[in-house]
Amino acid sequence: LIYQLNRAGQSTDLLQAVYNINEYQKTYMIDRAVYEADFSFNQKTVAVLGLAFKKRTNDMRDSAAIKAIDALLGRGVQEIRAYDPLANDVAKSYWLNEENNHLYSRISYHNSAQAALAGSDAAFISTDWEEFRSLSSIIKKTVKPPYLVIDGRRMLGDHHDLVQAGYQYISVGGPFTQ
């Protein structure tokens, strides 16, 4: 739409502002983790759960995970442990690129959320897959506090159980809790 308005000589200021805000939202949760939870991503391992732009697809175009992974690597993350029920193979080919290989070689792909969580310091939920609704119990079994859960899709209805057990939690539209 912005492209078409530009071609027609029309103003795109409002649409461009909306687009810019939407793009910023993809990394906003990471900024919140740094500033509200005082979490340093430097030399940490982060599980990124959900790579596709929405559930039930392997399509990664405009995926929040792309921007989030770029931002995490830019903040010095040592390893990204990625999992998506359908998009793992698409993600591997997406980031297989000589120009960025030094960064993207730090991404490993896993066959389950539990496998991706193992050995991580934080988790970032970026796609609203149904299986992620039951992550709290998997998180408790797999990793121990201190541990940060960044819920970019507000999937964990039982996140209060995590907080009571000593985990830190940030969600879209919700306060940082610990």
pTM here is 0.90
Note the pLDDT of residue 98: 60
Residues 28-36 have a mean pLDDT of 95
pLDDT digit string, tens, across residues 107-116: 999 999 999 9
What amino acid occupies position 64? A
What secondary structure, in 3-state letters, does 37-69 show? CCCCCCCCEEEEECCCCCCCCCCCCCCHHHHHH
Domains of the chain: 26-171 (3.40.50.720)
Average pLDDT of every residue of the chain: 93
pLDDT digit string, tens, across residues 37-66: 999 999 999 999 999 999 999 999 889 999
DSSP letters for 93-119? HHH--GGGHHHHTTEEE-SSHHHHHTT
